[in-house]
Amino acid sequence: MKLYKLSPSPYVRKVHVMLIETGLIDGVELISGANSPMDPDPELTALNPLGKIPALVRDDGGTLYDSRVICRYLDAKAGAGFYPESRIWEVLTLEATADGMLDAALTMVYEGRFREPEKQSEDWVEAQWLKVARALDALEARWMSHLAGPVDAGQIALGCALGYLDLRHEARGWRNGHPELSAWYARFADRASMQETAPQG
């Protein structure tokens, strides 16, 4: 298999963590490239018409994209149980919550990186952060018992999302008011898969 990636994408990191956790990492060629929403890589768009990473080329030549699709495929391929049937809806909802946080956090970055200064909207940026803040509050209030259970795909997604908040929005101080979530993340970030995939910038 081949994984098309770009560091420090948190969606790529999620797939990379899943590869390590499932033991499939040694069977995958990691291919780095240059890609942006304004200038997608032609090689990548040939594999994924949306021009987004990650994209996983399977051994049979087919390509999967969207980190949730890829992670579900890798888990099924390895029989690893990161999407346990007994908790499947909770796992999928947690994964969707984490990815929604990432969507909002990335939109904030893109607003400053790809729009001309005179077209940037602080109100838009703050509206995106409110999505993140509401998700953090919900996680602290309602998800800690799930996070205390066995590691699953939702937890992997959340760990990568919180890591991205540290990387790009550290000044927002997401840990404030979320002591249990902060303590969970400190433990989860110590996993070998998270340490190995920690973004460098």
Average pLDDT over residues 129-153: 98
Report how far Cα 192 is from the mean position of its chain's Cα atoms.
17
What domains sit in the chain, N to C, each tagged with a CATH number?
Answer: 2-78 (3.40.30.10), 85-196 (1.20.1050.10)
Write down the mean pLDDT value for the chain.
92
39 or 86, greater pLDDT = 86
CA torsion 49-52-54-57 (nearest 10°) is 10
The pLDDT of residue 58 is above 90: yes
Position 25 scores a pLDDT of: 97
Please give the structure tokens belonging to residue 160.
């990568």
Average pLDDT over residues 112-129: 84
Each residue's pLDDT tens digit, 27-54: 999 998 666 666 677 777 888 888 888 9
Of 78-87, 96-105, 110-119, 133-142, minimum mean pLDDT range: 110-119
Which residues in 119-157 are b (16+ Cβ under 10 Å) and which e?
A: eeeeeebeebbebbbebbeebbeebeebbeeebbbbbbb
Dist. CA 31–CA 96, nearest whole Å:
26
Dist. CA 44–CA 66, nearest whole Å:
13
The pLDDT of residue 186 is above 90: yes
Spatial contact of 12 and 69, defined as CB atoms under 8 Å apart: no
| pLDDT band, residue 131 (cuts 50/70/90) | very high
The burial class, CB within 10 Å (0-12 / 13-18 / 19+), for 31 is: middle
Dist. CA 47–CA 4, nearest whole Å:
10
